[in-house]
């Protein structure tokens, strides 16, 4: 496409001619018309895109295999693009951006057609986390109902398709009588069509899935699951699926490392395919903040994990296992120079994993010269050792070269 310089008058004329030529007058270009145009064309595109829809357990909802973790998103254009690509299930929470995430989703849902999409939101039973007075407990319990009302208001709807108790951290929470009563009441009043829990704490992972699978009130489970998950997590999710729960996978891409960060491959798609290929997973909700990520993730739909994908994941895993620090802290005592290995690894993760060089550099530069990688540069006999195989000395030098 060749660009040419034009002056102000030609500029106005050209825009006018171009738009009239395509049947779009300038004054018709309101937001709705513009979005309407895209939606119209997307109906045709969806057929070609071949988005896969799966039944979300006992809810019977037909949700897109790749759904949307809205969480960090601030740009509604990405939601419109997702709708155009056939995504119909959107996950948010009252706490994401202090409710602004729900506000944005609510606005888009209203404009697009609330009934055409499925919305999941979450509230956290925060008062169960610590011992509180009876008075406080009653107040907090009442606050759960208020939180739900506020969420509905922000989402501009009178119901959500799925309401989840957020981040279950204790195995007693799912069967807590107050929580059960709260959820039953929401279902009864039609404010939540279905209910469930979200879960990632490995300490309670198996117990919570076991309890939720046995409690008839629960319909859906959102759980941390990716190609690095322990096999018993997969087994637990299989049981949940057998109990007819809708199983939604989150944190599907393990660490956020993307193509170009450590290999020339696209591990995001392979990681997503790996999750979606499990017949006990109904959908995945990767968090996305821009159109490029969205397109990359949707590209995984309907594709089987090929031999090449397995190779990609293997290579990817091998490439991150030497720098993906799990922050166990066991390495500290092995370094004779008392380098702050964890922090340096974390700085590298921000840079390589989250693709935020500035953040990595900032974290690194907070360390004094005695605790950063300076001493590693001429350390001829490193004693440092990582139980998980991270090549510490090499990584410390790399960090120093990168950030110092």
Span 135-154, contacts to other proteins by CB under 8 A: 135-136, 139-140
Interaction between residue 17 and other proteins (CB under 8 A)? no
Rg (CA), the chain: 24
Q: Given candidates 50, 304, 358, 378, which one binds other proteins under the rule CB under 8 A?
A: 358
Nearer to other proteins, 38 or 315 (CB): 38
Report the C-alpha gap between 287 and 95 in whole angstroms. 15
Interaction between residue 8 and other proteins (CB under 8 A)? yes
Q: Which region among 6-14, 51-59, 374-382, 387-395 touches other proteins (by CB under 8 A)?
A: 6-14
Interaction between residue 257 and other proteins (CB under 8 A)? no
Query: Could you tell me the smallest distance in angstroms from the CB atom of residue 357 to other proteins?
Result: 8
Span 73-112, contacts to other proteins by CB under 8 A: 74-78, 80-81, 93, 95-100, 103
Interface characters, 263-302, with other proteins (x: CB under 8 A): ------------------------x-xxxxx---------
Q: Given candidates 149, 279, 366, 394, which one binds other proteins under the rule CB under 8 A?
A: 366
Interaction between residue 395 and other proteins (CB under 8 A)? no
Longest dimension (CA), the chain: 73
Nearer to other proteins, 153 or 278 (CB): 153
Interaction between residue 48 and other proteins (CB under 8 A)? no
Query: Could you tell me the smallest distance in angstroms from the CB atom of residue 319 to other proteins?
Result: 21
- Contact (CB, 8 A) for 223 and 250: yes
CA torsion sign, 370 to 376 to 382 to 384? positive
Q: Given candidates 50, 177, 231, 368, which one binds other proteins under the rule CB under 8 A?
A: 368
Span 310-339, contacts to other proteins by CB under 8 A: 327, 338
Nearer to other proteins, 100 or 172 (CB): 100
Query: Could you tell me the smallest distance in angstroms from the CB atom of residue 210 to other proteins?
Result: 22
Interaction between residue 23 and other proteins (CB under 8 A)? no
Report the C-alpha gap between 272 and 281 in whole angstroms. 11
Nearer to other proteins, 93 or 243 (CB): 93
Nearer to other proteins, 99 or 305 (CB): 99
Task: Name the pairing type of β-strands 68-69 and 62-64.
Answer: unpaired
Span 188-247, contacts to other proteins by CB under 8 A: 200-201
Total chain residues near other proteins (CB under 8 A): 71
Interaction between residue 20 and other proteins (CB under 8 A)? no
Spatial neighbors of 7 by CB under 8 A, at least 6 apart, are none
Give the residue among 117, 65, 118 at the shortest CA–CA distance from 285: 65
Interaction between residue 403 and other proteins (CB under 8 A)? no
Query: Could you tell me the smallest distance in angstroms from the CB atom of residue 364 to other proteins?
Result: 12
Query: Could you tell me the smallest distance in angstroms from the CB atom of residue 19 to other proteins?
Result: 8
User: Cβ of 316: how many Cβ atoms within 10 Å?
Assistant: 27
Query: Could you tell me the smallest distance in angstroms from the CB atom of residue 15 to other proteins?
Result: 5
Q: Which region among 12-20, 57-65, 188-196, 315-323 touches other proteins (by CB under 8 A)?
A: 12-20
Nearer to other proteins, 290 or 401 (CB): 290
Query: Could you tell me the smallest distance in angstroms from the CB atom of residue 8 to other proteins?
Result: 7
């Amino acid at each position: 496409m060749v660009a040419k310089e034009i002056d102000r008058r030609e500029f106005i004329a050209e825009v006018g001619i171009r738009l009239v030529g395509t049947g779009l007058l300038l004054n018709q270009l309101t937001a709705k018309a513009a979005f309407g145009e895209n939606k119209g064309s997307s109906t045709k595109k969806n057929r070609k895109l071949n988005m896969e829809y799966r039944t979300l357990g006992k809810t019977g909802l037909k949700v897109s295999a790749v759904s949307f973790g809205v969480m960090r998103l601030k740009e509604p254009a990405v939601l419109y693009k997702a709708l155009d690509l056939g995504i119909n299930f959107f996950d948010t929470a009252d706490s994401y951006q202090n409710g602004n995430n729900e506000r944005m989703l609510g606005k888009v849902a209203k404009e697009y057609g609330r009934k055409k999409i499925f919305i999941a939101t979450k509230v956290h039973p925060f008062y169960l986390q610590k011992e509180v007075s009876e008075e406080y407990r009653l107040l907090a319990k009442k606050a759960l109902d208020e939180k739900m009302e506020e969420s509905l208001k922000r989402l501009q709807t009178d119901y959500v398709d799925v309401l989840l108790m957020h981040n279950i951290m204790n195995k007693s929470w799912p069967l807590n009588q107050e929580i059960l009563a709260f959820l039953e009441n929401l279902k009864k009043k039609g404010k939540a069509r279905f209910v469930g829990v979200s879960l990632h704490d490995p300490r309670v992972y198996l117990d919570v899935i076991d309890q939720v699978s046995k409690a008839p009130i629960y319909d859906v489970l959102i759980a941390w699951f990716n190609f690095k998950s322990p096999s018993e997590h997969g087994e637990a999710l299989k049981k949940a699926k057998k109990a007819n729960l809708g199983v939604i996978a989150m944190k599907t891409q393990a660490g956020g490392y993307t193509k170009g960060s450590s290999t020339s491959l696209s591990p995001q798609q392979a990681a997503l395919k790996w999750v979606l290929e499990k017949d006990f997973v109904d959908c995945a909700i990767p968090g996305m903040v821009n159109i490029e990520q969205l397109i990359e993730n949707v590209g995984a739909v309907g594709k089987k994990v090929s031999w090449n994908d397995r190779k990609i994941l293997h290579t990817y895993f091998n490439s991150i296992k030497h720098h993906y620090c799990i922050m166990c802290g066991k390495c500290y005592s092995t370094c004779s120079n008392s380098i702050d290995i964890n922090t340096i690894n974390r700085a590298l993760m921000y840079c390589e994993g989250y693709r935020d060089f500035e953040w990595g550099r900032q974290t690194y530069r907070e360390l004094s010269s005695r605790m950063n990688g300076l001493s590693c540069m001429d350390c001829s006999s490193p004693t440092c050792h990582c139980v998980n195989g991270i090549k510490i000395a090499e990584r410390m030098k790399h960090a120093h070269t990168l950030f110092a």
